[in-house]
Amino acid sequence: NIGSGKTTLTEMLAAHYCWTPKYESVRYNPYLEDYYKDIPRWSYNLETYFLAQRFQDLLDISRSDGVIIQDRTIMEGVHIFVANNYDMGNLSQRDYETYLQLFNLMMSMVREPDLLIYLKSSVPHLVSRIQQRGREYEQSISLDYLAGLNERYESWIGSYQGNLLIVDSDSLDFKHRPEDFSQITDKIDAQLFGLFK
């Protein structure tokens, strides 16, 4: 979810394993500030922009010989953010169906990740991290919106069929405590390389 530590962990894992990081476009997204000011007006634009960016990332990954780590997956767009906005009335039926059509077409051309890492966080933990990093456009995110996203993450992760690692990010401080980061890398080694099983 927003504020769970995705970018920090991506950065650290990329450095640890010598993987190439791919980050979600936040700083240069032309819709993000408008979206947080008027979610119903800008939902379709923002989500379609993210979808195009994530699909481009997947195309780049498919052409790469190296190992890539992303801080967000293309699947989150449809299963979490778009579904949440649709249920909240921020997306029309027409826009929702058009988005799904685009998503399904794109997914027919790419494969799922070798490992999906889910950073499980409570809403209070997310709020604390969002306040700490101080992005002005995020300060108006409502608790209901974050809670709705969290519920969708839990539901999606509960039915995810691929290789999955769940990390309780409320109880870990992987940025400041090396032993917490080692817990995560030990689990990744076990999942990807068959160690410590």
Does the global pTM surpass 0.75?
A: yes
**DSSP per-residue codes, 88-122:** TTSS-HHHHHHHHHHHHHHHTTS---S-EEEEE--
CB 180 within 8 A of CB 9: no
β-bridge pairing 164-168 and 116-120: parallel
pLDDT tens by residue, 27-73: 678 898 898 889 999 999 999 998 998 899 889 888 989 999 999 89
71 flagged as catalytic: yes
- Both tokens assigned to 182: 């080692």
CA-to-CA distance for 69 and 6, rounded, in angstroms?
11
Encoding tokens for residue 140?
């108006």
Q: What is the pLDDT of residue 131?
A: 78
**Res 197: pLDDT:** 47
Catalytic residue, candidates 57, 60, 65, 71: 71
Only one residue has tokens 């399904």, namely 104
pLDDT at 96: 97
CA distance 171 to 121: 9
Q: Whats the size of the chain, residue-wise?
A: 197
Q: Return d(Cα 57, Cα 45) in angstroms, integer.
A: 18
pLDDT tens across the length of the chain (197 residues): 888 999 999 999 999 999 999 987 666 788 988 988 899 999 999 999 989 988 998 898 889 899 999 998 999 989 998 998 999 899 999 999 999 999 999 999 988 899 999 999 998 998 888 877 767 666 767 788 888 899 999 999 999 999 999 999 998 999 999 999 999 999 999 998 885 54
